[in-house]
């Protein structure tokens, strides 16, 4: 796999141009799409409906969210020096289906055995209870099933690639570790402090490769999930009531990747989303 890392800031303009017409046509029902590149050492090109949309998309990059009209997009991922969507194909072509008002994250990652793959998650944007936040943990690393350990116990058990676990917790700081399934130590990743914020879905990705000793964490947040206080009408519509997504891939001693804003990555990847080991299309 290629390891050339070239940032293409002009790619954002390419993507915005490609989707400009549909965006203006159905802004009220747009889907929100974020994309995480979680394959270490690989730079790729992304083609949408046969058009080069993102040139040299680099690892450790979280892009979006980008508002896109509900539709199905044909996406191919190729080597970074490919001449077309059918040349040196890495993944695809894939039909990426975005539903009306949906909130998604597409992830380029490694399977448990270390092969390139794509996962497509539907983010939980349901309201959180007063005083609570949501913690979502996703396993997209080349590693066996893992446990998420906090407070001396496994809070998510036997999480396999590419599954996710979802917890609703009181707001506060959680010190968590990723360990081999059925064990409390040693930690494969962590311990690391994770902030659980009221009204926010904090999504933590375990990615990289255990064999290559480059496991890392990436963090994405989706805000605006508060339960309205008693006595205040909850019937808001439009942008004021919409959940928003922000992304951060933070850098620590655990080799956590750097956050990148590349709006060009929309439509890059698609596969199944799973919740606590149960896959959903």
Question: Could you give the CA distance from residue 258 to residue 110 in angstroms, rounded to a whole number?
Answer: 19
Decide which of 268 and 86 is more confident. Answer: 86
Decide which of 246 and 195 is more confident. Answer: 195
Range 193-207 average pLDDT: 96
Bridge pairing between strands 103-110 and 89-98: unpaired
Residue 32: enclosing H or E segment and its boundaries?
strand 31-37
Q: Tell me, yes or no, if the pTM score tops 0.75.
A: no
- Helix, strand and coil content of the chain, in percent to the nearest 5, comes to 10, 50, 40
- Give long-range contacts, CB 8 A cutoff, 24+ apart: 3-9: 3/41, 3/42, 3/43, 4/43, 4/56, 4/80, 5/43, 5/58, 5/59, 6/43, 6/56, 6/58, 6/80, 7/56, 7/58, 7/260, 7/262, 8/54, 8/55, 8/56, 8/57, 8/262, 8/264, 9/262
């Amino acid at each position: 796999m290629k390891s050339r890392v070239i940032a293409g800031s002009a790619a954002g303009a390419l993507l915005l141009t490609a989707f400009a017409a549909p965006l203006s046509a159905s802004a009220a029902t747009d889907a929100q799409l974020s994309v995480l590149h979680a394959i270490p050492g690989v730079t790729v090109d992304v083609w949408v409906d046969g058009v080069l949309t993102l040139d040299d998309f680099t690892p450790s990059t979280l892009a979006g969210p980008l508002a896109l009209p509900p539709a199905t997009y044909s996406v191919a991922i190729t080597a970074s020096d490919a001449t077309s969507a059918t040349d040196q194909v890495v993944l695809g072509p894939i039909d990426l289906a975005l539903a009306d008002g949906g909130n998604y994250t597409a992830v380029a990652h490694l399977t448990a055995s270390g092969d390139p793959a794509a996962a497509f998650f539907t983010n939980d944007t349901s309201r959180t209870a007063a005083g609570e936040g949501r913690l979502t943990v996703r396993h997209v690393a080349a590693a066996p099933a893992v446990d998420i350990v906090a407070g001396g116990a496994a809070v998510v058990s036997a999480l396999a690639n590419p599954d996710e676990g979802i917890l609703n917790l009181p707001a506060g700081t959680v010190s968590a570790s990723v360990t081999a399934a059925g064990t409390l130590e040693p930690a494969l990743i962590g311990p690391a402090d994770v902030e659980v914020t009221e009204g926010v879905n904090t999504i933590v990705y375990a990615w990289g490769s255990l064999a290559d000793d480059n496991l890392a964490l990436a963090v994405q947040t989706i805000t605006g999930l508060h339960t309205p206080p008693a006595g205040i009408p909850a019937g808001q519509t439009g942008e004021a009531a919409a959940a928003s997504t922000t992304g951060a891939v933070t850098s620590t001693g655990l080799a956590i990747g750097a956050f990148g804003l590349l709006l060009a990555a929309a439509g890059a990847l698609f596969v199944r989303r799973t919740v606590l080991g149960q896959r959903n299309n």
